[in-house]
A and B are shown apart, each in its own frame.
Chain A
Amino acid sequence: MRQMFRLKNLTITWRLVLWFVVVALMPLTLFGYLSLEKSGEALRYETLMRLNLLSDKKTLEIKTYLAERREDAWLLSRSKLVDEAMPVLLHAYSQHGSRSAQYLNAAKPFQRSFAAYIGSGDSTLFYDVFLITPKGEIIFTYQHEADFATNLISGPYRETGLARVFNQSRMTLESGISDIEKYAPSRAKAAFISVPIIRDGVLLGVLAFQLDTQRIYHVASDSVGLGKTGETVISTYYDTQHVMYIAPLQREIELDLFKPRDFGLVPLPMRQALSGIQSGGIVEDYRGVKVLAAWRYLPELRWGMVVKIDADEVFVPLYQQRKNLLGILLALAVLGGLVAFLLGHQLVTRIKRFSSTADEIARGDLSRRVEESGSDEIGTLAQNFNRMTENLQISYRSLEWRVDERTRELQVSNEQLQEEIIEREHIEKALRDAQEHLRIAATTFETHEAILITDVRANIIRVNQAFQDTTGYCAEEVLGKNPSFLSSGCQDSAFYAEMWQQLLANGTWSGELWDRHKDGHIYPKNLTITAVKNILGETTEYVSIFSDISERKRAEEEIRNLAFYDVLTQLPNRRLLLDRLHLALSVSARSGLYGAVLFLDMDRFKRLNDTLGHGCGDLLLIEVAERIRFCVREVDTVARFGGDEFVILLEEVGKNADEASQKAALIAEKIRAALSVPYKIKEHEYHSSPSIGVNLYCGNGSAVEDLLKHADMAMYEAKESGRNAVRFFDPVMQHSVSERASLEADLHRAVPERQLELYYQVQVGRNQHSLGAEALVRWIHPTRGMVSPAQFIPLAEESILIIELGDWVLDAACRQLAIWSETDLTRHLTLAVNVSGKQFKQRDFVEKVARILQVHQVDASRLKLELTESVVLNDVTDVISKMQALKALRVRLSMDDFGTGYSSLSYLKQLPLDQIKIDQSFVRDMTFDQNDAVMVQTIIDMAKNFGLNVIAEGVETEAQKILLEQLGCLNYQGYLFSKPLPIARFEALLKENCKLRDVACG
């Protein structure tokens, strides 16, 4: 610094002057200039905004004015006035002409009414009103100018603004507004607004208003707020290339207002306005003068509007400000320089003094003070400096003291912290201990046994996880509830009452009970309830501990099963069998039905066990049990009696001893056969067979033990007879069973060994003349003699023997018919043959009959097949089709045993029968049983109704014959006429009859 002083050789005084000029005056000048610029800009902006606002306001005023006039027009077009005026005026106009007195009279009242819309003086809104027909005829105007009664489509004013708005409203049904342009009839500029007159969707005409243009001009040219030089310029298109001013210009009075001007020569703002570009700015106006302007476009009238004010007027305040600023700056510079010099000089001396004192203090002498008495900045500075030095001294001292203080404080708080840490450690340890206790309790609580804790009012307050597992309920569902909702209802209230009593008395209860799981199943549980008491001995809680003992119960069941069932074969054991036998005997006593006990022993079982080992023996027994079970009904009991002995209890096998023995024999035989089939045991084929003893029982006449003993004895008999056999305990039964078996065996040989023979029983007509015969099969057994059909036919029907038998009968009958056809005496006879169900069901039965007839060359109509109802009842459609096929062969069909089955009229009607045979049971009793007589009568009547032949069989007495005759049955068969006879005797009988009736007998 000092060096710089020396270099520049300038005192601080001159420096101050210099700095004042450079640092203070220059920025001041600059800021002055900038602020001037800024205020100029602001002024310009503000003025332009004002112009914008004004021009917006003006256009809005015009828009509003036009919109209002349009609304006026719409209102008038919808008014009653127009309603009334249109038809009246149109009538007068078209009928009498526009100049007629009638028209003038008609128009007069409306003239007055419309005057209200025209207004007057300052309130004038419209210049004229027009009513125009859709065809363009102006039928009414208020002003009555030259346009009245002309046509706007074809007349002289078809090119005017009026015609254009009329067309627009007429076509688009919308309002229309015209530009302002010259209108000849008014000899002035004019603008029009039009609206359609519509009633019920029909265009009645157009209403048009001629606007009062003066009002629009007035709005436009109002220069309020624009100052002295402000002006609004309005122009519009004259044509596409030319523009005209439509309001007078202030500065060029002499300008011809409506003269078209070339578009390109018009000042820019107006050109832009007319092009729809709205803006504002500093521009040159039509005089070439700089102005501030805003310009607008008015779509309604297609006007361009420029609102402007001369720039000079706007910026006058700004020019004044500039001059003032310059003067002030100059004065400031001179004055400022002078003052700076004086001040600088004074300052320097004082600062030097100050400086030397400060230097001493800086060297460390804090007790030194500046000697300065002034109260100015340097004086204040000196005082402050002195105070600072003083403060420095004090601060230094206080700092030392505070360091000591702070060190003490730190020590104290350190000790406190230490104590706190120790205390915390104690607390933490206690906490850990408590947690440990809790953890043990919690672990115990979560045992596998369900625990339920209730308060003293038996509301659940806690349960463990095992509880949830056992009952299915989660804790949220049960808390607060009484545990009774777990109850299955299997225990009655007495049970619970007793439980509570014990609990209250002893403070504990345990036992088994059944509860219901959440999913609905019932389970047994072992429950212990303990009352928890506080120190005073009052019960505070009840703790129930229980577990689901379903598993244990199941195990018990298993054990029970073992007691009743054989482990190896799973069959009932001896104990259960005895149980069942007792039961079966009492059931039989009630029902009176026979049952049977089969005692079965496997032959040579010991040998199997000895040779192949017990394992194989066991396997055999399992297989045997399986096979037996397969042979009997579900309800029958198959029991393992011990070792290789089995007992089979067949209940309800027959109504009488005979039937029961037959069936029991059948089942026993079935079992025997099944058990005789070789066994496959561990790859060995093993042959074995059973010996079976059968004993029947009925009622509880005999003891269970006897029953078994007798069956056992029968079994031994079977074994003794050579094993693999069935034996009955009762010799009579044994005989009957054996007899039947041998008869069946013999029957097999009957056909091939020609032991069968046909017998013939005559069928007679009204005068006992022979109509034919029924062929009946007889079995002449070489040793037994004649065997009754009642004996062997059922036997045959049980097997397919019946078909063989039937075929033989059919064949023999046809052979006989063939023989008969050769003599006159027998040529007319029919031969009836019984057909069994099995036979008829054969698919080729009809073909078989046809073939036999063919073989013997027999007239089919001589063969009569007798069907029983039971045949017909099965598969009616098949039966009917077969019968129809037989009918087609001309074979006759007779219904045997009619009335014994369930024959109904409806199906009888469908069957192609020739004859009905009244069953002998009805015939036998009809003479003394009125019911049978009625039955017979009914059958006969029915047969007649269906046009069927009817024959009675089993006629044995004259009385029967007479009664039948009276009832209308004229054909008979029975012992009254002849029993079944061999052919030779039958033919003899025929001859005899013939002779008796004294007719030619061939």
Chain B
Amino acid sequence: MLTLLIIALLYLQQGQAKPKLKIGVLHSLTGTMATSERPLVDALRLAVEEENQTGGVDGRQIEIVVADCRSDADYCAQQAEKLITQDGVKALFGCWTSACRKAVKPVIEKHHHLLFYPVQYEGLEQSPDIIYTGAAPNQQIIPMALWALQNTGNRFYLIGSDYIFPRTANLMVKDVLLAQGGKLLGERYVPLGSGDLALAVKEIAALHPDFVINTLNGDSNQQFFRELREAGISSETTPVFSTSIAEVELAAMGAEWMAGHYAAWNYFQSLPTPENKKFVARFKQRFGADRVLDDPMEASYIGVKLWVEAMRSLKTDNLSSVKITLAQQTYLAPEGIVAVDHDNRHLWKAAYIGRAGADGQFEIIWRSEKPLQPAPFPGYRSRAEWLVMQRGLPEVQP
């Protein structure tokens, strides 16, 4: 009798529910960024649900605490503070714009906490407390610009939204392309969200560049491609290479406008790897067959997976241990193998260039031979030089 009691007690102890692990999500569910950021929350949700179904972390279920950043960087920083201090989250996933990231970064660093940032950005940043799961410029815009130069001609034109990412990325594009004998015909920036692209398109029509590097963000893109079409500029004569149009944006603006033009990413929904096919199937089963996946969503998904892998191998949620392990973490992602760079905590990623089809998907026409090492600070200038140059850009305030 007593023996049975003891056995029962032991069994109960084994089966006792462990406290949940909380993670914080910082994305805008309202405001201008909502269209782009909402799907990322879905991707995070998918990742967490998958992990919970396979037992969570060491028997602990993961719970998502979503904070709506309302498309306001400062508010987002407050939410980060709240998630860390009040909700006691073990890691944060979020931000889209550089402004948001730059506002949240000091909060994360103050608490020596952990943030996964999922979007390609302008580089020139690194933090012991942030894992950048999106691309650095040398993993997206630079290979794309070089490919364009080799395959279309050397006369190029730069169009972008007027903020830190296009201005900084184009600094690097110009360095690389001019060193390869490229000729810069024009460079134009329009305010973020501006629909006034007539001037730029007129200029493109007059200059006949061999290709255009497009770092426009948001609604400006639709207007840009519409104006191009109206000006009779086709993808055959003047292909446009975009950095900020993925499947989600393509679906939102109408795929037919961009058909034949190019975009570079580290993930396309059309990637034929078995991991990706399963990923797409799982996502559609969970969120609907009409939904599309894109690079920032996959990067968000990767973030959760990397974190869970690190936690599992450690069997502790101690933040500094997690960060040490994360610095060497690798993962077989839908996009291929990704690995955290030990030095700068960005991901080694393969780069892809895709040509947009009328169906809203990209046909992959080029891929990097192997994953590219992230270089947030391109080595041909010192970090100090880069930061001084960036501060000198218009529209970039420290």
Binding site for B on A (CB under 8 A): 23, 26-27, 30, 34, 52, 56, 59-60, 63-64, 67, 74, 164, 171-175, 177, 179, 195-196, 198, 201-203, 275-280, 296-297, 299-300, 302
Contact = CB atoms under 8 A, between A and B. Distances in A.
Interface stretch (B24-32, B45-53, B82-90, B175-183): B175-183
Interface string B158-190: 000000000000000001101110000000000
A63 B331 contact: no
B395 interface: no
25 contacts: A27-B2, A60-B328, A63-B328, A64-B342, A164-B369, A171-B146, A172-B176, A173-B179, A173-B378, A174-B379, A174-B380, A175-B373, A177-B373, A179-B370, A195-B379, A276-B330, A276-B331, A277-B332, A278-B309, A278-B328, A279-B313, A296-B328, A299-B337, A299-B341, A299-B373
Contacts of A60: 328, 342
A26 B175 contact: no
B138 interface: yes
B332 A276 contact: yes
A279 B337 CA distance: 15
- Tier of interface size on chain B: 35 or more
A278 B142 contact: no
Given A172-B142, A175-B379, A276 B179 contact: no
B176 A173 contact: yes
Q: Chain B at the A interface: mostly helix, strand, loop or mixed?
A: mixed
A982 B348 CA distance: 131
Contacts of B142: 172, 174
Interface in B297-343: 309, 313, 325, 328-333, 336-339, 341-343
B17 interface: no
A23 B1 CA distance: 9
A196 B339 CA distance: 25
A275 B332 contact: yes
Given A275-B337, A280-B313, A299-B348, A27 B6 contact: yes
B175 A173 contact: yes
B171 to A, nearest CB: 11
B371 interface: yes
A209 to B, nearest CB: 14
B143 A172 contact: yes
B342 A63 contact: yes
Contacts of B285: none
A756 to B, nearest CB: 88
Interface in B359-391: 369-371, 373, 375, 378-380
Contacts of A27: 2-3, 6
A275 B333 CA distance: 9
A56 B6 CA distance: 41
A494 to B, nearest CB: 70
Given A203-B179, A276-B333, A278-B309, 12 more contacts: A26-B3, A56-B325, A172-B143, A172-B146, A173-B378, A173-B380, A174-B142, A174-B375, A174-B380, A276-B337, A277-B331, A296-B330
A74 B381 CA distance: 10
Contacts of A174: 138, 142, 373, 375, 378-380
Contacts of B330: 276-278, 296-297, 299
Given A171-B176, A297-B330, A278 B378 contact: no
Contacts of A74: 379
A67 B343 contact: yes
Contacts of A173: 175-176, 179, 378-380
Contact of B180 (A52, A171, A277, A300): A171
B307 to A, nearest CB: 13
B373 A196 contact: no
A30 B375 CA distance: 58
A300 to B, nearest CB: 7
Q: Is the interface of A mostly helix, strand, loop or mixed?
A: mixed
Contact of A297 (B2, B138, B179, B337): B337
Interface of B: 2-3, 6-7, 10, 138, 142-143, 146, 175-176, 178-180, 309, 313, 325, 328-333, 336-339, 341-343, 348, 369-371, 373, 375, 378-380
A59 B138 CA distance: 24
A196 B331 CA distance: 31
Nearest to B331: A276
Nearest to B327: A60
Contacts of B369: 164
A923 to B, nearest CB: 86
A30 B373 CA distance: 55
A729 B146 CA distance: 123
B380 to A, nearest CB: 5
A305 to B, nearest CB: 11
Contacts of A195: 379
> Which of A34, A74, A164, A275 has its CB near the most chain B CB atoms (within 10 A)?
A275
A174 B373 CA distance: 10
A280 B179 CA distance: 46
B124 to A, nearest CB: 14
Contact of A202 (B179, B329, B332): B179
A30 B4 CA distance: 11
A521 to B, nearest CB: 53
Contacts of A198: 179, 380
B316 to A, nearest CB: 11
A172 B140 CA distance: 11
Contacts of B331: 276-277
A277 B180 CA distance: 38
A1 B143 CA distance: 91
Nearest to A298: B339
Given A27-B3, A198-B380, A302 B179 contact: no
Contacts of A26: 3
A27 B1 CA distance: 11
A202 B373 CA distance: 23
A171 B146 CA distance: 7
Contacts of B379: 74, 173-175, 195
- Which of A56, A60, A74, A171 is packed against the most chain B CB atoms within 10 Å? A171
B313 A278 contact: yes
B339 A297 contact: yes
B340 to A, nearest CB: 9
B10 to A, nearest CB: 8
A277 B371 CA distance: 15
B175 to A, nearest CB: 6
A951 B135 CA distance: 108
A651 to B, nearest CB: 79
Contacts of A280: 313
Contacts of B313: 52, 278-280
Contacts of A64: 342
A345 B135 CA distance: 84
A201 B381 CA distance: 9
A299 B371 contact: yes
Nearest to B313: A52
B303 to A, nearest CB: 15
Contacts of A275: 332, 337
Contact of B179 (A201, A279, A296): A201
Nearest to A134: B179
Residue in B176, B178, B379 whose Cβ sees the most chain A Cβ within 10 Å: B379
A903 B185 CA distance: 79
Most chain B CB atoms below 10 A, which of A30, A174, A179, A279: A174
Contacts of B138: 172, 174
A275 B309 CA distance: 14
Contacts of A59: 328
Nearest to A280: B313
B329 A278 contact: yes
A200 to B, nearest CB: 11
A195 B378 CA distance: 11
Contacts of B143: 172
B370 A201 contact: no
B193 to A, nearest CB: 31
A177 B375 CA distance: 13
A60 B340 CA distance: 12
Contacts of B370: 179, 302
